[in-house]
Amino acid sequence: MAGTVIVHNPESGSGSHTETVRTRADLCGYALEQSEQAGDVVALTREAAEAGYSTIVAAGGDGTVNEVVQGIDRADAFDDVTLGILPLGTGNNFAKQIGITDIETAFSALEDGARRTIDIGMATDRPFVNSCVAGLTAESVSGTSGESKSRIGGLAYVLTTLRTVTEFDPLHLTVDSGMGAGEPPTWSGEALCVMVGNGRQFAADGTTQANMEDGLFEVAIVKDVPAIDLMSDAVLERLFGQDSAHIDRFQAASVDIRGHSADPVRFTVDGDIIQHHELDLSVRSNVLQLVVGEEYDPVPMDA
Ligand SMILES: Nc1ncnc2c1ncn2[C@@H]1O[C@H](COP(=O)(O)OP(=O)(O)OP(=O)(O)O)[C@@H](O)[C@H]1O
């Protein structure tokens, strides 16, 4: 059965979109499935994929997008299913990155927008589309000024969080990018956080956004920094800028992060927190078929 189904999380964002989604789904001839409780979205998506829908639309925020991707993965249906997004959440961070800025844009992209095939990340067996961050729990980039975001990319996210945290214990970690047997680990030491980005906000040096079709993560290790709560934006941007001595950046297709303390490391995987002493992250290259908006530029521009 080819066809489109919307998997809707009625609790996402303002939680006041049920009627709109129902009406629009009817108009477009799309099927509609609604979650009744947390966790339903994964199961509903899996069933929809197994029933043969060729487009599954995640209607909700970033958490819903991640759960739909988990459902497609569990049905082993990446080859058969295209993911669409209706941005109904609070942040809608991932949707914005792929040019799906509002509901109207989302519906027109579903009708005749471009389809791309992007990478996803795997944290062991758990898929993610945007990021996996070890350590410092960075909530979102939404509290960060647009100007600051464009100058320092994904690290704006760390800055926003650092401002709100008064104290944190650095992590003692080894970060190994899988260079092969006998190679020394890529990095070992104390870090505030390690950001492993698949999404576009994690730009490599010299580009405004990351390439989500290149089979590589953008990795940034934020090493211990001086107390920053009183620093101005200009000083912070120097500290965290592209040539910062406080940050190591590299690209890798796989990364193994190992904590050296008795306590497990906290990882934020597309917004969800999990704890592990060691986590293996790898890219599944060009696996997720995705409906994108006009602003999505597969080849990142120069900054
Ligand atoms: N019917 C439901 N009732 C309660 N929780 C639900 C329901 N359906 C899904 N959820 C939960 O909602 C969370 C996802 O919310 P989502 O991220 O989509 O919205 P948001 O937090 O408002 O947006 P964003 O993440 O973009 O800021 C998940 O934890 C999911 O399990």
What are the pocket residues of ligand 1 if the criterion is a CB atom closer than 6 Å to any ligand atom? 9-13, 35-41, 60-64, 89-92, 271
pLDDT attached to residue 139: 46
pLDDT at 159: 65
Rounded CA Rg of the chain:
19
DSSP label of 126: E
Q: Could you give all domains of the chain from N- to C-terminal order, each with its CATH number?
A: 4-113 (3.40.50.10330), 127-285 (2.60.200.40)
Token pair of 101 as six digits: 């800025």
In this prediction, residue 138 carries a pLDDT of 47
Are 54 and 82 in contact by the 8 Å Cβ rule? The answer is yes
Rounded Cα distance between 71 and 24, Å, is: 23
- % pLDDT > 90, the chain: 54
Q: Answer whether 72's CB lies under 8 Å from 41's CB.
A: no
> If the chain, 303 residues long, is cut into consecutive pieces of 10 residues, what is the mean pLDDT of each piece?
93 92 96 96 98 98 96 98 96 89 96 96 95 71 46 58 65 83 74 83 53 88 68 64 73 93 91 93 97 85 52
Can you tell me the distance from the alpha carbon of 2 to that of 66, in angstroms, rounded to the nearest whole number?
Answer: 23
Q: How far is CA 191 from CA 23, 40, 135, 170, in A?
A: 49, 36, 8, 5
- Of ligand 1's listed atoms, the one at least distance from the Cα of 94 is 26
**C-alpha span between 252 and 277 (Å, rounded):** 21
CA 209–ligand 1 middle distance (angstroms) = 26
pTM, two decimals, is 0.88
C-alpha of residue 92 to centroid of ligand 1, in Å? 11
Report the run of H or E that residue 146 belongs to, with start and end.
helix 146-152
pLDDT for residue 135:
85
Tokens 């490391």, located at residue:
265
Q: Which atom of ligand 1 is nearest to the CA of 63?
A: 17
